[in-house]
Amino acid sequence: MKTTTQSIEQLSINTVRVLAADAVQKANSGHPGLPMGAAPIGHILWTEALNYNPQNPDWPNRDRFILSAGHGCMLQYCFMYLTGYDLSLDDLKQFRQLDSQTPGHPEYGLSKGIEITTGPLGQGFANGVGFAIGQYHLAARYNKPDFPLFDYKIYALCSDGDMMEGITSEAASLAAHLKLGNLIYFYDDNHISIEGSTDLTFTEDVAQRFQAYGWHVQVVPDGNDLEALYQAVKAAQEETTRPSLIKVRTHIGYGSPNKADTADAHGSPLGEDELRLVKENFGFDPDQSFVVPEDVLHYYREIGKERAKKEEQWNDLYKAYKAKYPELAEEYELVSNGQLPPGWEEKIPVFPAGEEKIATRKASGKVLNAIADNLPHLIGGSADLSPSTDTDLKNYKSFTADNREGRIFHFGIREHAMGAILNGLAVSKGIIPYGATFLVFSDYMRPTIRLAAIMKIRPIFIFTHDSIGLGEDGTTHQPIEHLMSLRAIPNLVVIRPADANETAQAWRVAIGHPGGPVALILTRQGLPVIDQEKYTKATELEKGAYILSDSEKEPDVILMGTGSEVSLLLQAQEELKKESIAARIVSMPSWELFDRQDDSYKEKVFPKAVKKRLAVEAGAVLGWYKYVTDEGDILGMTSFGESAPAADLFKKFGFTVDNIVKRVRKLVG
């Protein structure tokens, strides 16, 4: 370790402990125990392990720190303030308050230096695997001999709760398989969860579990032993073929005479009386709060300045790299700034109308492979379902332990981890990630989808086998409520295209969509390709809903739908003409995109004067009432499906031209 006196180190660590306890007490809410117990780990991270620049927290080759145990966020906030990030002592005093920079769990985009929003336990652990994959992939594409542009590491602090969550097991297994030696995780082994001792539910040997996965595992018996922590970090940094777990025995609420090693230090303030005892225990004035000794602040700020020199060295390296490899540098600057290569859309295919039907999942695969060459930063795969989801890039190889440049990902049957890994990739600038599974399994991914929407990042989620149309697999695999549940997530754009050309346009929107994730909802069964010459072109999909086919006169009824049901509406329109019923057909692939349009466009598509409306979608009906009005009707699913061929199921549940016509007759009287 660097030669600094133990006294300043110990005073600095104790300052963090007291600051954290003060902030939680002032907020009258929070978790003081983890920061108090894990302060030495934080000290080693910010003084010895991490490469960072407090003045520019986003420099590309910084090490990433993830607080998977997000409830202990005062630990991170304290070290960010002390080392010179744009976070003040007043911000610490506003912990958990409205509009503060210090919310109850770290939030990406709110404070510079927070790498990702973790929230639910286990998410950060799995996010880190995405970060690690991203680092290796960027290095494989851009690093050159003598130019190690990207060699950063990913550090995380995890809790007992993280180790219990299933997502952690999924991600840990994959990380070891991929030999992600750039991962260094601390396990804050304090033996306490909210209900009490972890012995209530958790008695496994975590170290042996991770050794069985294939991790490099070290155990530090005393979390206050700075030298042991330092040596463990050093050994982990030298390990390059296995992810590292450092299991550290800590004491939650360390320094609290009556609440250390108890659940009382986990999820609530210590209380004024106990906080006074803590301050006395560490030699602080119990009558003062938020005290930072001048020499402690100077000590940490100088370390922050020293760490900033790492970026200066990297900037010199990048300048020389740019001179030698200008094309690669130009590409990286473009994609890392969120821009797209000029002309990438030119490769989007147009599908001709004809007799051959094509499933939108198959159309999606054709689009992916058509645009892949022009989008080198588009990478992804599926949860062991690529033959079914059609997500392989045919001209590219797989990402493996031996080929970091591969663009096809094999997540295995790990949907939950896949989502979190995609989020980690999405915040690794220079990568657009996608991941695929069946729509019914989006249930496993809901926390990660929600977090992506909160962070306003843009992974692309591909969900195929989108309705009872998947057929024989039956009720367990036929999604009913899933479309509506995804639509309920704020800031998630859900697109269910009606045919191959709408699918192509859905990809155009998804690739260029800023400020949030996109979910593509695709069919297993083949669908007719809607004639682009006869009907409105699919480019209108970007508006969310559009008049696909209008009536010759003022419409008597508006028929709206998504996905596979739209072609039924077009057929029904022809039948209704024979009965002199004028029907407007609206394809409505994305509610979210449509709701963003101005009032004049909405009125154009859905005139208030036309109140007779029918929505048709092979999913739950909840939500459609917003568009059909009180005088309208909905043809949807109000039960689970059955196991049978798709055609039989559509007939049984009323998704036929005859039934649509019958429902319209009833509407218009």
Instruction: Quote the longest CA-to-CA distance of the chain.
Output: 92
- Which residue in 195, 201, 155, 205 sits closest to 45, CA to CA? 155
As a whole number of angstroms, the distance between CA 377 and CA 603 comes to: 39
DSSP string, 178-221: TT-TTEEEEEEE--EETTEEGGGT--S-HHHHHHHHT-EEEEES
Are 162 and 186 in contact, with CB atoms under 8 Å apart? Answer: no
Dihedral of CA 54/60/65/66: which sign? positive
CA dihedral angle for residue 372, residue 373, residue 376, residue 382, rounded to 10 degrees: 30
Neighbours of 430 (CB within 10 A): 22
As a whole number of angstroms, the distance between CA 430 and CA 375 comes to: 11
Residue with the two structure tokens 């007992």: 160
In one-letter notation, the amino acid at residue 404 is R
Q: Measured in Å, how far apart are the chain's first and last C-alpha atoms?
A: 85
Instruction: Name every residue whose Cβ is closer than 8 Å to that of residue 112 and which is 6 or more positions away in sequence.
Output: 57, 58, 85, 86
DSSP β-bridge partners for residue 216: 244
481 catalytic, yes or no?
no
Q: What's the 3-state SS for 499-540?
A: CHHHHHHHHHHHHHCCCCCEEEECCCCEECCCCCCCCCCHHH
DSSP string, 237-253: HH--SS-EEEEEE--TT
Angle of CA points 310, 314, 319, to nearest 5°? 155
Neighbours of 652 (CB within 10 A): 13
Q: Could you give the residue ranges of the DSSP H alpha helices within 352-456?
A: 360-371, 386-389, 415-426, 442-455
DSSP string, 402-430: S-TT--EEE--S-HHHHHHHHHHHHTSTT
Please give the radius of gyration of the chain, using alpha carbons only, rounded to the nearest integer.
Answer: 28
Instruction: HSE, CB side, 13 Å, CA atoms: give it for residue 245.
Output: 27
As a whole number of angstroms, the distance between CA 72 and CA 498 comes to: 46
**Which residue in 9, 415, 542, 617 is the catalytic one?**
415
Instruction: Name every residue whose Cβ is closer than 8 Å to that of residue 250 and which is 6 or more positions away in sequence.
Output: 37, 38, 41, 188, 189, 190, 223
As a whole number of angstroms, the distance between CA 647 and CA 653 comes to: 10
**Residue 460 per-residue DSSP state:** E
Give the pair of three-digit tokens for residue 16.
């963090």
In one-letter notation, the amino acid at residue 482 is H
Q: Which residues are catalytic?
A: 415
